[in-house]
Amino acid sequence: MRKLIAFDDDTFDKLKQLGRDRMATIQELADEAFTDLLRKHGIPVDLKDALRRSASLSQTSTKRKTASNPLRKARP
């Protein structure tokens, strides 16, 4: 999907220079920036990340259930 983003001249010049220094395109810089922003706010970036988060949430809920319902002791 294509979207148009506007930059002021100074910012765009700095992005172009950063791209040259890192041998990256503006698109690669934007992808990296948006990925970092999503991670900062706890939003899964791709399917693998979403599955990893889902698995860790289910393990956490399982641990809570076992901690709140200890095994009953057998009567002699």
Instruction: Give, for all 76 residues of the chain, the pLDDT tens digit.
Output: 889 999 999 999 999 999 999 999 999 999 999 999 999 998 888 888 888 888 887 777 666 666 665 555 555 5
Q: What's this model's pTM, rounded to 2 decimal places?
A: 0.63
Q: What is the DSSP string of the chain?
A: --------HHHHHHHHHHHHHHT--HHHHHHHHHHHHHHHTT---SHHHHHHHHHHHHHHHHHHHHHHSPPPPPP-
